[in-house]
Amino acid sequence: MRADGYIFCALENLAAIAGVMKDFYDQSYYPVLGRIEGRPYAQMVCASSDVETAVRQTARIAQGWRLKEVHRSLIICTHPQTPGGILAKKMITEERGT
């Protein structure tokens, strides 16, 4: 709880935050509730295409913690739509960020 602010980075999976990030929030939410209020946060989501729900999920959790958003969400869309494309390694370049 010593951090001055937070950057939450998550993958999107099936239009929501990936399970590992959901697990982090599940385990962290109540232990820090009321202890980190007012601190700044930003988020980054890497998604295939549908990122809105994942962004809203983190924003809602941050709202519950009463964090202050200091930068609009950084969204990186990789756009694969086939099983091979989804499983392939990705190279994140500047033009992929939105």
**Band (90; pLDDT cuts 50, 70, 90):** confident
pLDDT (tens digit per residue) in 68-85: 999 999 988 888 778 888
pLDDT of residue 98: 44
Provide CATH code, domain 6-96. Answer: 3.40.50.360
CA dist 46 to 32, 34, 41, 67, 92, Å?
A: 26, 29, 17, 22, 9
pLDDT (tens digit per residue) in 25-59: 999 999 999 999 999 999 999 887 778 899 999 99
- Would you state the structure tokens that stand for residue 89, as one six-digit string? 């390694």
pLDDT (tens digit per residue) in 53-70: 999 999 999 999 999 999
pLDDT of residue 89: 83
